Amino acid sequence: MRLLITGITGRVGANVAHSFLQSGHDVRGFVWPGDRQTGKMRAVGAEIVEGDLASSADVNAAAEGREVILHLGAAFQAGGPFTPEQYMDTNIKGTFNVLQAALALGDQLKHVIVTSTDATMFKYPPTGIDEPIAEDTLPLVSTDWYSYSKILCEHLVNRYCRHENLRATVIRFANVWGAGEILKFPSFHLASFVHQFKSRTDDAGRATYERLQREDDGEPRLIVARDATGRPWKKHNIEVRDIVHAYEKAIGNPDTFGKVYQIGSRAPFMWDELIPYMSQKTGIPFSVIDLAMTPNYYEFDLCAARTDFGYDPQLSVFDMVDEAIRYGEQGRGGIIPTTV
């Protein structure tokens, strides 16, 4: 296949590109002018085209001759800060340009997949969410510019599918970890919550801060985060390799056209199961603390992706911990952050 991948130098895009290159496909990447990571992608065999997603001429030129477009390029929180205008230009106008370019390819186009995010959904009510979240369980009500721009992008895809019969699909990612990153997740570390509660002035916040301080001896310490009732937090994430697997399974599958899919790891995880495991493997002690804040408590229903395109994620959070430790032992990056 001849693929175009926007955002090819990002953490996800680079891994997706590498997988398709290894399988013998022709991969072209679309990048910002001057992107410092382009050399790495050229070195593994990708063709690189520079341009601006907000420019229809640039996007059309990049899409010429392609059969599949994977639209991963975006302005997003971790890469900013970005202005509202930049979110509008890069994410919304950029997605419009990608869809227009895909439409212009006619019958040559096999599939365009647009990346979205679980941040489009309101997953953090005061008491958490007990039932697994399907694609249409929650309203798309996020108002921060990144998430809101992705909501509009999903609506754009829906319009092109219904009105133009475009072979397009939306895939929403859960919170993404790369290989070896799990041990650095801030919400596993006491220091992160000490910092968050330091400025709280309400009675519950001050009481929580005092409790956290009693556990803080200046050394690394993990935390089993629980809500105010003592219920451990629960979260659903995804590792990059399971995202690659999703793309490999979904591309060209007509059962996915016009649909939105949520993808995540094999199962959600509970803080009271994962943190003791991390502690055992790393030797870092942990504390169990009830936090006076909105909890992480949700998981995703992956039935639609499993049914329609055979999505079968393989990595558990325990696998990820084991790998992260091996990475550290091999000198491929620090394992434990001293500050979070």
Domains and CATH numbers, the chain: 2-173 (3.40.50.720), 182-233+269-296+325-329 (3.90.25.60)
Determine the pLDDT at residue 80. Answer: 72
Question: Cα separation of 102 and 64, whole Å?
Answer: 9
Give me the chain's average pLDDT, please.
Answer: 94
Determine the pLDDT at residue 180. Answer: 85
Neighbours of 88 (CB within 10 A): 18
Question: Cα separation of 199 and 333, whole Å?
Answer: 32
Question: Cα separation of 78 and 83, whole Å?
Answer: 13
Residues 217-275 have pLDDT tens digits of: 999 999 999 999 999 999 999 999 999 999 999 999 999 999 999 999 999 999 999 99
Question: Cα separation of 228 and 5, whole Å?
Answer: 44
Which residues is 31 bridged to in the sheet? 50
Determine the pLDDT at residue 339. Answer: 30
* pLDDT value at 336 more than 60: no
* pLDDT value at 144 more than 90: yes
Q: Indicate the pLDDT class of residue 55, thresholds 50, 70 and 90.
A: very high
Mean pLDDT of 166-185: 94
Determine the pLDDT at residue 338. Answer: 28
* pLDDT value at 172 more than 70: yes
Mean pLDDT of 302-328: 94
* pLDDT value at 333 more than 50: no
Share of the chain above pLDDT 90, in %: 92
* pLDDT value at 322 more than 70: yes
Mean pLDDT of 317-325: 94
